[in-house]
Structure 1
Amino acid sequence: MSSVSAAAAAKDCAVEFTGTKSGYFKLWFVNLLLSILTLGIYSAWAKVRNNQYLYGHTQVDGHRLSYLAQPLQILRGRILAIVVFGGLYLVGTLMPLLLAVFFIGYIFLLPWLIGQGLRFTLRMTAYRNVRFSFTGSYGDLFVHFVLLPMVAVFTMYLTAPWIHKQIIEFMHKSITYGGKPMKVSLRTGRFYWAAFCALGSFLILSLTLGFLVGAGVGISALEDEIPGFVQNGAVLLFPLVYLGMAFVAGVYAAIVRNHLLESLRIDELVSFRSNLDVVGYSWLLATNLLLLIVTLGLAFPITRVRKIRYLCEHTRVFLTPAINDIHNTVDEQHSAFGEEAAGLFDTDFSVAG
């Protein structure tokens, strides 16, 4: 089937998320308590249950996503990761020279960890009983996650939008669904435009905040309350700065996501569209952060459901009839060590929001 005829026959489908804030909060909170009571052992079951809830409540064309990892898989990988890296760190503290060697070695290990984390998460994700997979090589991972970030530093981050575009393009081109590769062709200019808009919003927010601070100082001077204003203002300033950063990040992320999904397709089977409102998404991220600050992190499940639902509501998926002929080509046996080891260093990867 040609790409033109396939596009004409594609079915326009909404991405539906049926989970609720209260439902996920109850599950998450119980899992958190059990993880604490079992000194972290139950956290593997908690991760599976949380992901199964989020994946299972996300559906396209009447078919739900599935999270297929088993708790014991994750627990074994987690224990192995802690033993290996904990042992290396312990040896390093006794012999500082080896600690330096360990950190240098981690630079070369990082691409493998990221690749294993991506590979495990995608293999444990299925749609219509067909799994995803990741085919990126170590060499490509090293280039995109070690060398290119170094280029950004040496160019004073002027190349950061281009580097981000290269990383996103590589990651998605390395994903397959039922053996069919994802295809994407991104434009560097759109990433620089996203960075320009983010910078513009940062300047506007900074000027607004500066004006408010100046006005506050002026009013306090008239009332001889400058010390009190400075003390109270300092308390409010840091949360406002973080909220502003979340808003700015949302501006960049929304523009990039819209461009990515308009360019993304899986062979001649699936194409996507995203119509995120830049201000709306940025406001969502800022208010989510505010909820986390006010509740000391307890609102995390609520913020996650809010974000996933918003993303789903602003995403369309176009399925061609050929989607019904796809069969699973991925071996389900895969170690969770890479994902859990990556998680120890905040390089974990998740599909669901």
Structure 2
Amino acid sequence: MYQPEAGGAAAPAFVQSSSHIEAHPLRFTGSGAEYFRVWIVNVLLGIVTLGFYTPWARRRTAQYFYSHTQVADSPLEFTAPQGKMVKGFVLLVLLTLAYQLAVNTGQDTAVSLFLLGGALLAPLIWGSAMRFRLGATRWRGLRLQFTAGWGEVYKASWPVFALALVWIAVVFGLQALAPETVLNESTGRKMPQVTAPMWGLIGLGLVLSVLCIIRLEYNYKSLLVLRGQVGAEPGRWKPVYLDFVKVWLATVGFFVACVAVIGALLAVVIGGSFALIARQTSQLGLWLFVFIIVGFIAGVLLLFLVSAPARAYREARMFHLMWNNIGVSQIARFKCKLRTRSYVLLRLKNLLFTVLTLGFYRPFARVSEYRMKVDSVTLHIKGGVDQVAGQLVRQQQTGLGDALADAAGLDLIG
């Protein structure tokens, strides 16, 4: 079982000449209007090129958000080579087309091989993506880097394989517990039966699956922090697995509460509408059909909207947990004051405006949410920024290290 170390890897090689701690709030200097120009060009070129502009759009977006993110009064830089992003995108498109071709032509063996290969390569893909993303990030001349070995990446990925084993066991268990099929006299077809033990097995499989997903998220985030560096300094990690479980449980509770509230409101509205229809059915005519169609579309939209507060709640809680409990060796730590309630309300407002504007408010929404996150974080550095950055650069130049590791940095534009 993968278990991250609580305080990082090796002892820090950094020499501190001062115990003075400086606080530097992070700032985002961009605006919705500026990003709208980047976004609309990306959208239009994406449409014209049938999606093949995607790697250029992603790079332009990353560069905009990075360059407007001030860390200790210095902006981040995104320096990923465009060629590598294009190659990765083309490879992904080719693999997707090959998989769809296998599915559409009924090549079950090829589909099974694709799924098996995807599961085996998933950790490799994740680790490669983290190396690329951090390696393309700069701050004050320092290059970020993910230093975990492939053995560590696969060790941290054990929940992926545990998840597969869980559902293999569930499938065989259902086959063992399934009773004989019953003949339906009206249709002449055999109808399968689902018994209480079978439902219990399915429920157990779902619970174990969620626990595996939570564990995978915890393993990846902790590995990303602990195996990243700035200069020769390792990341520092405090959260434990139970912290992640608590966030997920709270999210489930919040989601159930949202469903209950929205369900009660819908019951009142729909009940009144049906009463009105029952009294005026003969007069509605074509409008009855229109009402049914509108009601169906509204129902689908509500299914998406009802999960929005819970998704924003989890995002805010997880962001606060991460940024409030990580640091860089003994020289820096982050503190976060993001308020979950404020972030959830902002997400709901942005969602409403995005729907009303048919999606054109999306860039403004993204900037406002990003700004709230960034502006809630404060970097505390032991010693002056110039002094610390200078020593880290010298470590990088002398080969002692040339990277930073802070996991939440990846989430800044994610």
Q: How high is the TM-score relative to the length of structure 2?
A: 0.70
Alignment CA distance shift 1:291-1:8 (3 Å) = farther
Matched, 1:316 2:330: no
Matched, 1:107 2:107: no
Distance 2:18 2:252 in 1: 37
Distance 1:268 1:6 in 2: 13
Matched, 1:19 2:72: no
How high is the sequence identity, in percent, across the aligned residues? Answer: 23
Distance 1:42 1:230 in 2: 40
Task: Provide the alpha-carbon RMSD of the alignment.
Answer: 3.3
Larger radius of gyration: 2
Contact map agreement 1:126 1:132 (CA 8 A) in 2: yes
SS of equivalent residue, structure 2 residue 210? coil
Moved more, 9-18 or 146-155: 146-155
AA matched with 1:147: F
Which residue is 2:366 aligned to? 304
Which residue is 2:48 aligned to? 37
Distance 2:110 2:274 in 1: 58
Which residue is 1:340 aligned to? none
Alignment CA distance shift 1:252-1:77 (3 Å) = closer
**Equivalences, count:** 335
Cα offsets for 1:244-274 (capped at 9, x unmatched): 3121122222222222222201112221011
Which among 112, 118, 142 is matched to residue 154 of structure 2? 142
Matched, 1:326 2:392: yes
Distance 2:21 2:156 in 1: 34
Deviation at 1:280, TM superposition (A): 1.3
SS of equivalent residue, structure 1 residue 126? strand
Matched, 1:182 2:193: no
Cα offsets for 1:282-302 (capped at 9, x unmatched): 223333344444444443322
SS of equivalent residue, structure 1 residue 19? coil
AA matched with 1:194: V
Which residue is 1:79 aligned to? 90
Deviation at 1:95, TM superposition (A): 4.9
Matched, 1:261 2:327: no
Which residue is 1:130 aligned to? 142
Cα offsets for 1:79-110 (capped at 9, x unmatched): 34434664576578585423321221111111
Which residue is 2:413 aligned to? 352
Alignment CA distance shift 1:275-1:69 (3 Å) = same
Contact map agreement 2:335 2:378 (CA 8 A) in 1: yes
Distance 1:351 1:84 in 2: 29
Which residue is 2:306 aligned to? 244
Contact map agreement 1:121 1:351 (CA 8 A) in 2: no
Contact map agreement 2:55 2:85 (CA 8 A) in 1: yes
Give the 5 Å matches for 1:163-182: 163-182=216-235
SS of equivalent residue, structure 1 residue 326? helix
Contact map agreement 1:190 1:256 (CA 8 A) in 2: no
Contact map agreement 1:251 1:278 (CA 8 A) in 2: yes
Deviation at 1:208, TM superposition (A): 1.2
SS of equivalent residue, structure 1 residue 183? strand
Deviation at 1:53, TM superposition (A): 1.0
Contact map agreement 1:20 1:305 (CA 8 A) in 2: yes
Which among 59, 75, 95 is matched to residue 70 of structure 2? 59
Deviation at 1:52, TM superposition (A): 1.1
Deviation at 1:160, TM superposition (A): 5.0
Which residue is 1:203 aligned to? 256
Contact map agreement 1:13 1:316 (CA 8 A) in 2: yes
Gaps of 5+ in 1: 332-348
Alignment CA distance shift 1:172-1:291 (3 Å) = farther
Alignment CA distance shift 1:116-1:295 (3 Å) = farther
Deviation at 1:330, TM superposition (A): 4.2
Which among 81, 89, 106 is matched to residue 70 of structure 1? 81
Deviation at 1:13, TM superposition (A): 0.8
SS of equivalent residue, structure 2 residue 335? strand
Cα offsets for 1:56-85 (capped at 9, x unmatched): 000022100000013233223333443466
AA matched with 1:175: G
Distance 1:260 1:181 in 2: 16
Distance 1:116 1:301 in 2: 29
Which residue is 1:343 aligned to? none
Alignment CA distance shift 1:225-1:205 (3 Å) = farther
Contact map agreement 1:270 1:320 (CA 8 A) in 2: yes
Q: How high is the TM-score relative to the length of structure 1?
A: 0.81
Distance 1:87 1:214 in 2: 46
